[in-house]
């Protein structure tokens, strides 16, 4: 589904990512965990084309998208929910979703409709005429996920989806993520909260100082979490 090799990227003369390499297979949830400042968000920005890598390759379904512009990259089946959500606050929920519908790619693995995302998040039906800026943080996160799904992705990247949300909302969103995986959608879950990542991800990677420093294999989360020295070194207290 996605393969990253030898990726360097940053801002101007500042290189943040160093020789990053990892892969995501069909229909699996992969978590990328690390402390603040590890380079996780920079990696997300590189994957969706918001910054240009200075070295390495990004391969999506055997197609090199390293230099493909963001809007065209999304049409290869990648969708992203950024940490700040990037919703149009003055527009209604329905208008935000409509923007995704009219720009969606054709022929995705799973074709999501407005009815589909309303079933996933019933609050969308209740608040579809409300301006997004009037919604709670949890409601806005649901709209952001729904908008991404209406782009018809087969790979969904989510940057810090649990940040600032109540535990009840986090639990609901994790349930949706599991359901997406069951429908064949691959997911990259970028999370500082390793507890949440370990609860839902099939496997994972640990990032520190812009590098992948450890791979967590399927079934290996408990072993990683029980190694207090490693957790403290890479994730902090």
For the chain, give the mean pLDDT: 91
Model pTM greater than 0.85?
yes
What are the residues whose beta carbons fall under 8 Å from the beta carbon of 229, sequence distance 6 or more? Answer: none
Question: In the numeric block, which tokens belong to residue 89?
Answer: 């606050």
Q: Taking a C-beta distance cutoff of 8 angstroms, is the pair 196, 181 a contact?
A: no
Reply yes or no on whether the pLDDT at 4 is more than 90: yes
pLDDT in tens, 87-137: 887 899 999 899 888 777 776 667 889 999 999 999 888 999 999 999 998
The stretch 57-72 carries a mean pLDDT of 93
pLDDT in tens, 78-94: 999 988 788 887 899 99
pLDDT in tens, 183-221: 889 999 999 889 899 999 999 999 999 999 999 999 999
Sign of the four-CA dihedral 45, 51, 53, 59? positive
Task: Tell me how far apart the alpha carbons of residues 217 and 204 are, in angstroms, rounded to a whole number.
Answer: 7
Place of tokens 């379904």: 61
In 3D space, the residue among 216, 218, 196, 198 whose CA is nearest the CA of residue 207 turns out to be 216
Q: How confident is the model at residue 231 (pLDDT cuts 50, 70, 90)?
A: confident
Strands 78-81 and 55-60: unpaired
Go through the domains of the chain in sequence order and give each one's CATH number: 2-235 (3.40.50.300)
Q: 2-32: b or e for each residue (b if 16 or more CB lie within 10 Å)?
A: bebeebbbbeeeeebbbebebebeebbbbbb
pLDDT in tens, 182-191: 988 999 999 9
In 3D space, the residue among 189, 158, 5, 151 whose CA is nearest the CA of residue 73 turns out to be 151
Reply yes or no on whether the pLDDT at 237 is more than 70: no
Task: Tell me how far apart the alpha carbons of residues 50 and 35 are, in angstroms, rounded to a whole number.
Answer: 22
Output 96-103 pairs: Cβ under 8 A, ≥24 positions apart: 96/132, 96/143, 96/147, 97/124, 97/128, 97/143, 97/146, 97/147, 97/150, 99/147, 100/147, 100/148, 100/150, 100/151, 101/150, 103/71, 103/74, 103/151
User: Which of 7-16, 74-83, 99-108, 142-151 shows the lowest per-residue confidence on average (mean pLDDT)?
Assistant: 99-108
Q: How confident is the model at residue 5 (pLDDT cuts 50, 70, 90)?
A: very high
- Residue % of the chain over a pLDDT of 90: 63
Distances (CA, A) of 93 to 77, 133, 144: 23, 9, 10
pLDDT in tens, 156-184: 999 988 888 888 889 999 999 999 999 88
Q: What does the pLDDT read at residue 28?
A: 95
- Residue % of the chain over a pLDDT of 70: 98
206: helix, coil or strand? strand
Better pLDDT: 123 or 6: 6
Reply yes or no on whether the pLDDT at 142 is more than 80: yes
227: helix, coil or strand? coil
Task: Tell me how far apart the alpha carbons of residues 119 and 182 are, in angstroms, rounded to a whole number.
Answer: 16
Q: How confident is the model at residue 22 (pLDDT cuts 50, 70, 90)?
A: very high
The stretch 36-61 carries a mean pLDDT of 94
Q: What does the pLDDT read at residue 107?
A: 67
């Amino acid at each position: 589904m996605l393969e990253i090799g030898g990726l360097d990227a940053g801002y101007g003369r500042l290189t943040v990512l160093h020789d990053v390499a990892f892969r995501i297979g069909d229909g699996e949830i992969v978590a990328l965990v690390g402390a603040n400042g590890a380079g996780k968000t920079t990696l997300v920005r590189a994957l969706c084309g918001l910054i240009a890598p200075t070295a390495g390759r990004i391969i999506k379904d055997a197609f090199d998208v390293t230099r493909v512009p963001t809007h065209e990259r999304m049409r290869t089946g990648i969708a992203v929910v950024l940490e700040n959500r990037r919703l149009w606050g003055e527009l209604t929920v329905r208008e935000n979703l409509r923007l995704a519908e009219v720009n969606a790619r054709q022929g995705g693995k799973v074709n999501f409709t407005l009815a589909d995302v309303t079933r996933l998040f019933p609050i969308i039906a209740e608040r579809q005429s409300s301006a997004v800026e009037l919604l709670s943080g949890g409601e806005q996160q649901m709209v952001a996920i729904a908008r991404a799904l209406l782009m018809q992705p087969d790979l969904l990247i989510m940057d810090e989806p649990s940040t600032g949300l109540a535990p009840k909302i986090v639990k609901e969103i994790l349930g949706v993520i599991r359901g997406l995986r069951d429908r064949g959608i691959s997911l990259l879950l970028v999370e500082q909260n390793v507890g949440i990542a370990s609860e839902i991800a099939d496997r994972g990677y640990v990032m520190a100082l812009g590098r992948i420093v450890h791979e967590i294999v399927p079934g290996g989360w408990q072993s990683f979490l029980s190694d207090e020295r490693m957790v403290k070194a890479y994730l902090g207290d």
